[in-house]
Amino acid sequence: MSSFPANKVIELCLSPIREGAGLEAEVLALFDLLGARLLAYAVSFGIPVQDGEDVVQETFLALFQHLGKGRSRENLKGWLYQVTHNLALKRRYRRAADAPSPGIVFESPDPSPGPEERLLFGERHARLEAALGALPPVDQACLRLRADGLRYREISKILGISLGSVAASLARSLDRLERAERR
């Protein structure tokens, strides 16, 4: 039989479980905090909501692996957005490359404001929403990531553009939004 003392064996058995349980709780807490925002970010790439959900799942599974390997915990929020960004892009390219399968329907809600929303939130909101939708993808992404609380350095890393480009993009978007509001 084993020559290990019982408590050491139990510790050997339980420590990975505790570790796993601790990481699991941490990852789920971050999912509760950021899942909705990351899903909205993934869907902003033009992929269906269900694909966006897959992207978010893969992102948090990657986070679990990242933390499990003892990798850096610095700026996990930025890290999550970056992974979501890359996975959503891949998913978009894959959907563009794949031929559609007959008979399979992907359901996704229409995000554009309907008449009821216009009434509820006013014309200003509707004009802004239309102006946001018309922004070039990088400008829209910069603005969205800024609204989600990311710093310029994080945005530049996620989008693969320079810090100066982030600032210029935001200034450009501001100008366009203000012109849309003045109409």
Contact residues toward another protein (CB under 8 A) are: 1-4, 9, 12-13, 15-17, 19-21, 23-24, 27-28, 31-32, 35-37, 39-40, 43-44, 49-50, 52-53, 56-57, 60-61, 64-65, 68, 101-107, 109, 111, 121, 124-125, 128-129, 132, 143-144, 146-148, 151-152, 167-168, 170-171, 173-175, 177-178, 181
Find the angle CA(25)-CA(62)-CA(13) to the nearest 5 degrees.
50
**C-alpha span between 95 and 43 (Å, rounded):** 13
By C-beta, is 89 or 177 nearer to another protein? 177
Rounded to a whole number of angstroms, the minimum distance from the CB of residue 177 to another protein is 5
**C-alpha span between 28 and 138 (Å, rounded):** 30
By C-beta, is 8 or 73 nearer to another protein? 8
Distances (CA, A) of 18 to 2, 13, 62, 63, 175: 23, 9, 19, 17, 52
Rounded to a whole number of angstroms, the minimum distance from the CB of residue 75 to another protein is 15
